Chain A
């Protein structure tokens, strides 16, 4: 009996760190002083607080705690016809929901430590950070995106049958088409309130009967909690393997939505 108790106890001791240590702790998104990156707090040890709070959160989901970007993305900064994008993307609208949350650090306009609800009892304020440029993400940082999104994949774009049909009749026909990512694929469409040609994204009803309108967000390809092979990508470990600064062969990520019709 004693042996059994010891066995259970030892198991608990050894397993505890793995069970309780969230995956994010070993990523650069651990902005607490314990984080592995160069941009992190000087003393603050809480990890989740930089993005989430159980109380007094913003209205953004999920329980968002970070101050939001107020940058007004103008058409010249968005993927659009004026920057060489296919005509159908001329309707790209400013980032919303998940992508706006990401850009609240990565566009470099908001202080990384600026929170709605500070750790412990208190109100809004700023956690003291190191490795920043005046509190904001430096333009030289690996993850810096800035406010010009014109050369990036469109985000917060509603995906519906109209878009898929348009895309498949446009650009280089028959080469790389557009489809909804297959069920079970790590690449997923996420909620957006934006529309395409006046239509919402295709409605999705989840198991809990929560309905959202789907679209492409940063979180379609990136999982902010999990570093993955590189760059928080949800998928894409082809050969050559991706490394920091060079994504390697990540075609599997792209072909979830853009399958090559050529064999």
Chain B
């Protein structure tokens, strides 16, 4: 009897997860009459523009009215101006593809024939969002299972389009795979990693990251919508050339060879880009996010492009601009070395 009752309760609890609507606390900024005095009419009309959700304009022009200080000439400072960012060279193309957004769409896309799109409404839920949490209420794709209604984290919003989408372009990374915790190494989006680089600024050590720590999703002047400079081709090192990496990884530590004995030799003397040896997302087989850039690194005479690290022993088998790496054992500082 007790078993039956507890079974019934268990089923009830499981079911309630699917039935209970999400309940949000706090005042959504757009619903706060002190901030948006026109209430519903700020965006909606009973007889709105055809094809819209009773909106007085189509998205994104509607959003720019308040969130485009540059465009509207407003200077209240009360809103975030995204108009300028969304016009930058590397951006999410909301101007071009917002019209393809459907409010009932379920992402990731299942059909390769569906054109890719991005709308303000893919990442923002204007009825729920708050100034302190602009993506609050947006839906997301979780790494822990099927598509979820509500994203717990920003990365889950990104996964909706940048993971196993049927219409993801060739060469565009499956980020859910990149950050998978079964990879040998990965930037800590999904969870904190224990095997951390010695170069990390202590304040960031042992923390998880968000995609938006490196990418600015509205748009920037740096390729891949990166927040700051990251030169991906070989060339002279400076504080600004790898500004993005140096945000978290101390330049003095890296160039001081604290994490890898030959960092300075590679980066400063040979002018090697971080990207030549490292992936910014994750590495399936190698520790230390090692993924060699095939544009620079080619096979060794023995036909290998291989990195191995056993204990503190690092071995590379590859050819880089004619320089053969034949597995000479090199090691991190303060450990035995047999060169």
Contact = CB atoms under 8 A, between A and B. Distances in A.
Contact of B21 (A148, A174, A263): A174
B22 interface: yes
A168 B24 CA distance: 14
Contact of A175 (B24, B45, B49, B55): B24
B47 A152 contact: yes
A24 interface: no
Interface stretch (B32-40, B65-73, B317-325): B32-40
Nearest to A175: B127
Given A172-B137, A174-B23, A81 B104 contact: yes
Interface stretch (A3-11, A59-67, A254-262): A254-262
B51 A84 contact: yes
Contacts of B137: 172, 174-175
Contacts, number: 109
Interface string A223-251: 00000000000000011101000111111
Contacts of B102: 81, 84
B101 interface: yes
A57 interface: no
B41 A174 contact: no
Q: How large is the interface on A (under 10, 10 to 19, 20 to 34, 35 or more residues)?
A: 35 or more
Contacts of A204: none
A150 B51 contact: yes
A86 interface: yes
Interface in B63-103: 101-103
B100 to A, nearest CB: 10
B51 A247 contact: no
Nearest to B49: A151
A145 B50 CA distance: 10
14 contacts: A81-B104, A145-B47, A151-B55, A152-B54, A173-B21, A173-B150, A174-B24, A175-B24, A175-B128, A175-B137, A240-B38, A242-B41, A250-B40, A261-B23
Contacts of B169: none
A152 B23 CA distance: 28
A262 B28 contact: yes
Interface in A139-186: 145, 148-153, 168-177
A212 interface: no
Contacts of A176: 127
B46 interface: yes
A249 B41 contact: yes
A178 to B, nearest CB: 11
A83 interface: yes
Interface SS majority for chain B: loop
Contact of B50 (A148, A153, A170): A148
Interface residues of B, number: 38
Contacts of B41: 242, 246-251
Contacts of B127: 172, 175-176, 260
A89 to B, nearest CB: 9
B332 interface: no
Contacts of B103: 84-86, 171
Interface in A185-225: 221
A87 interface: yes
B209 interface: no
Nearest to B127: A175
Given A151-B47, A151-B55, A84 B37 contact: no
B113 to A, nearest CB: 17
Contacts of A172: 125, 127-128, 137
B27 interface: yes
B24 A251 contact: no
B23 A247 contact: no
A82 to B, nearest CB: 9
Contacts of B184: none
B37 A240 contact: yes
Nearest to B149: A173
A173 B138 CA distance: 10
A238 B40 CA distance: 11
